[in-house]
Structure 1
Amino acid sequence: MSHTNATPSTPETQSARRLGDPLVLGLSVGFILGFLALSLYDIDMVAGGIASGFAWTASTLGSYFQLLLLLTFLVAMGLAFSPVASARIGNLDRPELSTFKWLSIIMCTLLAGGGVFFAAGEPIYHFVVTPPAFETEAGTPEAVAGALAQSFMHWGFLAWAVLGSLTAVVLAHAHYVKGQPLQPRTLLMPVLGERLVKGWLGGVVDALCVIAVVAGTVGPIGFLATQVSFGLHELFGVSEGYGTQLLILVALGAVYVTSAMTGIHRGIQVLSRFNVFLALAIAAVIFLFGPTQFLVNAFTRGFGEYLTSFFTMATMTAQTAPDWWMQWWTVFFFAWFIGYGPLMAIFVARISRGRTIRQMILAVAVMAPIATTVWFTLLGGSGIHYQLTGAIDLAAALNDFQFDVATLTVAQALPGGPLMALAILLLTTIFVATTGDSMSYAISVVGSGHDEPNVLVRAFWGIAMALMAAVLLYMGAGQISALQQFIVITAIPVSLVLLPSLWTGPQAAIAMAQEQGLLAAHRASSPES
C-alpha cells in the first residue's frame, strides 16, 4: 500500500539515483576538502575565523535558536494530544519494526553525543560552577538539583523535539503519500513550491544540511578516538599517541561502515540493540551497587527543578547570563541539535513506518528525553556524589573542558572500577558507531532522495567522516573543536529549513488524518454530532 516515487525511470535518473544529486555531492565533498586544505594551509586562520563566526552567531541568534526549540516542543505536544495524531505513518497498518528495536534505534542514534561525552562531566561541571539560572553555592549539597536540572535542559525535551517530531511528520506525509524525496529540501516545498525546491536551490539546501551533520558527526568520532586512547592508556598503559588514535578510528570506521552498508534492518538495528542491553546492564550496576539513595534523591529533586525552572532556563539570554556561558553551553548545544534536525527527521520518518504520529512524537520528544535524564543522573549524579565526598576532584579538569577525563575518572570510581571503565568505553564506542552508521545512511538518503541508497555511497560517507577525523586529529584536537564550533554557524541556514514545520507539521498531520478517514470518524463519534 506504500507510495513510491512516481518519476519515470530512465538510464539518466537511475544513474542519478545510484550516485546521488551531483550538486549535493559536489558541495558537501567540496566543503570537506576545502576545510581540510585551508586547515593544512593556515590552521590559525581557520580556527580564528570560525571562533569569530561562532561568537557572533551565538550572541546574535542564540535567542532565536532557543525560541525555535521551545516552540517546536510546544507545538509537537499540542499535536500529539490532538485527534489527528492517530494517523499512521507510511500507509502501513502495522509497524515495520518491533517497539523495542524501534526505541533502541532512536535512543542510540540521538543520544550518542550526550551519552558519550557529557553524561558524566556536564552535571559535575554545573555542580562546581553554578549555572546562571540558579543562586546556590557551588559544590554544596544544595547545588545538586540545579546542576542536574541544567543538564536535563540541554539534553531533554527541547533537544529531542527538534530532532524528529514536527519535521518527521512533514517528511513522512510528503514521502509516503505524495511520493516526494526523503530530503531536507522537501521540508520547504509547502512554503516555496515544488518547482523552486526541485532546482538548484534544493540542492544547496540539502548540501547545507549534509555539511551541518558532517561537522556534528566528525566531532564525536574524533573525540572518541582521544577518549578511548586516554582510557586504554590509563587502564592498560597503552601509548596515547596519534598511532593509537588512528587504530581506534580504523576499528570504529570498520564497525559503522559495515553497519551502514547492511542497513536499518540488520547492522544498525543489531548495534543499537546490543548497546541498549549494555547500557541497561551498566545502569543496573550503578543503581544497585553505587550511591543508590543519593541517586534516587538527586533525580527526584533534579527533575522537579527541571520542570519548575523549565521556562527560566529555556529563555535565559546573554542579557541575564554571562556571554561565554551561553555561548559554550545552551546556544552551542541547541545549535548542534538544529544542525542534526533535518537528517534525524529523515531517519525517524524512515524507521517509524506503521507507527501513529502520537507514538512517534511521544517516543522522540518525551520518552527518550526522560531516559536521557535517568542516564545523566546515573553517571553525572554518581560523579557529583564522589566529588561531594572527596573521592574524586574534577573541578580543575572540567574548568579546562576536559570531558574525556571526567568520564573515565567517574567510571573508575564506580563499583567494579577498571571493569566498569572498560564497559563504559565500549558503550561510548558503540554509541558513536550508531551515530556514524545512521548518519552515513541518512546522508546517502539525502543524496539519492529515496530510502534505499546505494551501498557504496553509504560506505563512502562513513569512510569520508572517519578520514576527516583522522586528518583533524593529526593537526591537533583543537581543529576538531573548531569543527564543533562550525556547527553553530551551519545552524543558521538549517534553522530556516526547520522553521516552517511549526505550521506545516500540524497541516501534514491533519492531511494524513483526513486521507485515512480519521477526522470523519472522530466527528461522527463526538457527542455534538
Structure 2
Amino acid sequence: MTENNNNDKSNNKRVNESEETSPPLKLGVVFWGAAIIILVVAIIAMIIPSQVQMASETVYSFISDKFSWFFLLVVFGFGVFLLFLAISPYGRIKLGEDDSEPEFSFWSWIGMLFSSGLGVGLVFYGVAEPMEHFVKSPFLGGPVENAEAARIAMGYTYFHWGISQWSIFGVAGLTIGYFQYRKKRDGLVSTSLEPLLGFNYSTKARKGLDILAIIATVTGMATSVGLGILQMDGGLNIAYGIPNGPMTQVILTILMTVLFIISTTTGLKKGMKFLSTTNMVLAMFLTVFVMFFGPFTFIMESIVVGMGDYITNFVGYSLRLQPYSGQHWVQDWTVFYWAWVIAWSPFIGSFVARVSRGRTIREYVMGILIVPPILSFLWVGALGGSAIYSDLFNNTNIGEIVLDDQTRALFALLNTMPFELITSAIAILLIFLFLVTSADSATFIVSGMSIGNTENPPIKLKVLWGVILGVLTIALILAGGLTSLQAASLLAGLPFAIVLIMMIFSVSRSLRREPNRALVRRRHSHNAKEEHKQF
C-alpha cells in the first residue's frame, strides 16, 4: 500500500514538473480564427441584444424553411450508412490496432456516451416535448389532449431521441476514431478528409475546416448549456420560489463554468468517469422514483406502444415534411433537433472516438444506436408518460404550464408527486452535472482541435475555452434566450452537415483499402463459388 502511494506521489510529481517545464502555449490560426469569431458574436449579442434576437429569428426561419428537406435526407442517410457498416464485413475492423482492447468497461462507456451526448437536452425535453405534442398534436393540431394525441406525442418524441439523433454522433465518431486510432492520424476533422481531398490538400482549407468544427462545437454546446441554465432557472423558481430571469441565469452560468473548468483540469479519465457515473445514478433514481410513485402500468404500456409506433413510423417520420399544408411543425421540431445535433457532432464525435478506442465498428455502431436510445425511451416513457397520465386522468395542468414555459415542465411534473422539494433538488443537481460533464468534454475536445493535439491538450487552453464557452452562453441567453440558441444551432449545423457527408465518403474510401481478414475471406469464398459455377 505504501509503495503504491509512493508511486502515485512520484507520478503526480512528474506530471507537475512536466507542466512547469512545458514550453509556452503557442496559439495558431485555428484558435484565433475560431475564438475571434465566437467572441465577436458574443460581444455584439451583449451590446445590441434586441437586434440580435430579431436577426436570430430571421436566420432561424430562413434555414428551417429552405433547407429542411436537406437535413431530413442527410440524417436518414447517416443511419442507413452506419447500419450497412455494422452488418458488413467492415464491422469487424477495430477503431484501433487489431490487438487493441477497450479502455473503458461497457457500462462506463455507455454512461460517457449518454452523459456527454444529449443528457442535458433529454432532461430538458423529456417532459416538455411529449406534453407539447399532447396539447398541440403534430397531426391533429391543437388544443387536443386526448388519447390519440397522447399516443402520437410519445411515438414522435421517441423518434426525436432515437436512432436518427445518435446516427449523427455515430458518423462523426466513427470517422474521427478510425483515422485517429487505426490510421494513427491526429484526430482532426480536416485530417479525416484526406482520403477524399488528398493528403496534401490546401493548408488554408484544413484550417478553415477545423475552425468551422470548433465554431459548430462551441455553438452547439452553448445551445445545450443555455437550455440547461434556463431549465434550472425555471426549476428554482417553481420549486423554491427563487426569482427567475437574466440575473439568476448569468449567476448559474458563471457557477457552472467555474465548476466544469475545475473538472476538466482533473483529466478526462478521472473526472469524466466519476461525473458520468453520478449522472447515470441520479437519472436512474429519478426514473425509478417516478415509476414507483407514478402510474407504473400505464408507463410500461405507453413505452411498449410508443416503441411500436416508433418502429412502424420510422421511415415516414424520417422523411416527413408539410409542403401541401404550409405548416412548419417539422421545421420547429425535427429540423431544429437535427441541426442542433449536427452542430454538436464534432465534439461528440471526437469524444466518442476517444472513449471507443479498441472497439470494433460493429460493436461501436450497435452500442451507440441501441443502448443510448433505449435509455432515452425509458426516461421519456417514465417522466413524459407520467405527465400525460396526470393531465389525462387527474385533471392537472402540466400541458398548459409547458405551453407557457418549457423550462418548468419537469418540475411541474415533480410537483404532482410526493417529496417534490427533494426530487426537484435532485433534478437540478442532475441538470447541473450534465452541464458540467458535457462542457468538460467539449473544452477537452475543442482545445485539442485548436492545436492539433486531441489526446492531451494543455490545461491552460481548456480553461481558456471554458471561459469563451461561458461568455457565449451568457450572450445568447441575454439576446433572446431559446430562439437565439436555436438559431445558432441551425446556422452552425447547415455547413457542417456537408462536412459530415464528406467524412462518410472519406472513411468509405479508406475502408475499401483496408486489408481486413473478413474481406479477404469473403472475396475468397466468392471467387471459389464463381470457379465452381464455371466448372
Asked if Structure 1 and Structure 2 have the same fold, meaning a TM-score greater than 0.5 normalized by the shorter chain, the answer is yes
Q: Cα 1:137–1:211, aligned 2, differ >3 Å: closer, same or farther?
A: same
Distance 1:87 1:175 in 2: 14
Deviation track 1:274-309 (CA, whole Å, cap 9, x = no partner) reads 111111122122222211011111111111111111
Structure-2 residue corresponding to 1:439? 442
- Structure 1 residue 114: deviation in Å? 2.4
Highest Rg: 1 or 2? 2
- Structure 1 residue 186: deviation in Å? 2.3
Q: Cα 1:98–1:509, aligned 2, differ >3 Å: closer, same or farther?
A: farther
Note if 1:51 corresponds to 2:57. Answer: yes
Q: Cα 1:223–1:55, aligned 2, differ >3 Å: closer, same or farther?
A: same
Structure-2 residue corresponding to 1:184? 189
- 23, 29, 53: which one aligns with 2:35: 29
Structure-2 residue corresponding to 1:370? 374
Q: Cα 1:78–1:340, aligned 2, differ >3 Å: closer, same or farther?
A: same
Q: Cα 1:459–1:315, aligned 2, differ >3 Å: closer, same or farther?
A: same
Note if 1:398 corresponds to 2:405. Answer: no
- 59, 65, 76: which one aligns with 1:70: 76
Structure-2 residue corresponding to 1:488? 490
Note if 1:430 corresponds to 2:433. Answer: yes
Q: Cα 1:241–1:71, aligned 2, differ >3 Å: closer, same or farther?
A: closer
Stretches of structure 1 that go unaligned for 5 or more consecutive residues are 1-13
Structure-2 residue corresponding to 1:129? 136
- Structure 1 residue 113: deviation in Å? 3.4
Choose 488-497 or 416-425, whichever is displaced more.
416-425
Residue pair 2:93, 2:361 contacting (<8 A) in 1 also: yes
- Structure 1 residue 488: deviation in Å? 0.4
- Structure 1 residue 353: deviation in Å? 0.9
- 354, 358, 363: which one aligns with 2:362: 358
1:311 counterpart letter in structure 2? V
Residue pair 1:149, 1:302 contacting (<8 A) in 2 also: yes
SS of match in other structure, 2:201: helix
- Structure 1 residue 511: deviation in Å? 4.2
SS of match in other structure, 1:496: helix
Structure-1 residue corresponding to 2:173? 168
Note if 1:408 corresponds to 2:408. Answer: no
Structure-2 residue corresponding to 1:117? 124
Stretches of structure 2 that go unaligned for 5 or more consecutive residues are 1-21, 530-535
SS of match in other structure, 1:413: coil
- 370, 373, 382: which one aligns with 2:386: 382
Choose 404-413 or 219-228, whichever is displaced more.
219-228
Residue pair 2:275, 2:433 contacting (<8 A) in 1 also: yes
Deviation track 1:387-421 (CA, whole Å, cap 9, x = no partner) reads 21245313333334x21111110122234322222
Note if 1:208 corresponds to 2:212. Answer: yes
Distance 1:15 1:71 in 2: 45
Q: Cα 1:385–1:406, aligned 2, differ >3 Å: closer, same or farther?
A: same
* Identity within the alignment, %: 25
Structure-2 residue corresponding to 1:145? 151
- Structure 1 residue 151: deviation in Å? 0.9
Structure-2 residue corresponding to 1:5? none
Residue pair 1:295, 1:382 contacting (<8 A) in 2 also: yes
- 463, 467, 475: which one aligns with 2:467: 463
SS of match in other structure, 2:67: helix
Deviation track 1:67-118 (CA, whole Å, cap 9, x = no partner) reads 1100110111111111221111121531111111111000111122322310
Q: Cα 1:453–1:219, aligned 2, differ >3 Å: closer, same or farther?
A: same
Note if 1:226 corresponds to 2:230. Answer: yes
Residue pair 1:121, 1:398 contacting (<8 A) in 2 also: yes
1:513-528 mapped onto 2 (5 Å cutoff): 514=515, 517-521=517-521
1:275-354 mapped onto 2 (5 Å cutoff): 275-320=279-324, 322-354=326-358
- Structure 1 residue 375: deviation in Å? 1.1
Structure-2 residue corresponding to 1:501? 503
- Structure 1 residue 244: deviation in Å? 3.5
Structure-1 residue corresponding to 2:256? 252
Structure-2 residue corresponding to 1:235? 239
Structure-1 residue corresponding to 2:18? none
- Structure 1 residue 480: deviation in Å? 5.3
Residue pair 2:46, 2:475 contacting (<8 A) in 1 also: no
- Structure 1 residue 171: deviation in Å? 1.9
Q: Cα 1:59–1:237, aligned 2, differ >3 Å: closer, same or farther?
A: closer
Q: Cα 1:321–1:360, aligned 2, differ >3 Å: closer, same or farther?
A: farther
Give the alignment's TM-score, normalised by structure 2. Answer: 0.88
- How many corresponding residue pairs? 506
Choose 110-119 or 320-329, whichever is displaced more.
320-329
Q: Cα 1:278–1:379, aligned 2, differ >3 Å: closer, same or farther?
A: same
Distance 1:425 1:59 in 2: 35
Distance 2:520 2:344 in 1: 37
Residue pair 2:120, 2:227 contacting (<8 A) in 1 also: no
Distance 2:395 2:467 in 1: 41
Give the alignment's TM-score, normalised by structure 1. Answer: 0.89
SS of match in other structure, 2:285: helix
Residue pair 2:299, 2:385 contacting (<8 A) in 1 also: yes
Residue pair 1:23, 1:200 contacting (<8 A) in 2 also: no
Distance 2:255 2:69 in 1: 40
Structure-1 residue corresponding to 2:8? none
- Structure 1 residue 448: deviation in Å? 2.2
1:220 counterpart letter in structure 2? S
Residue pair 1:469, 1:480 contacting (<8 A) in 2 also: no
Distance 2:384 2:240 in 1: 25
1:190 counterpart letter in structure 2? P
Structure-2 residue corresponding to 1:420? 423
Residue pair 2:223, 2:473 contacting (<8 A) in 1 also: yes
- Structure 1 residue 324: deviation in Å? 3.0
Q: Give me the CA root mean square deviation.
A: 2.4
Distance 1:371 1:50 in 2: 33
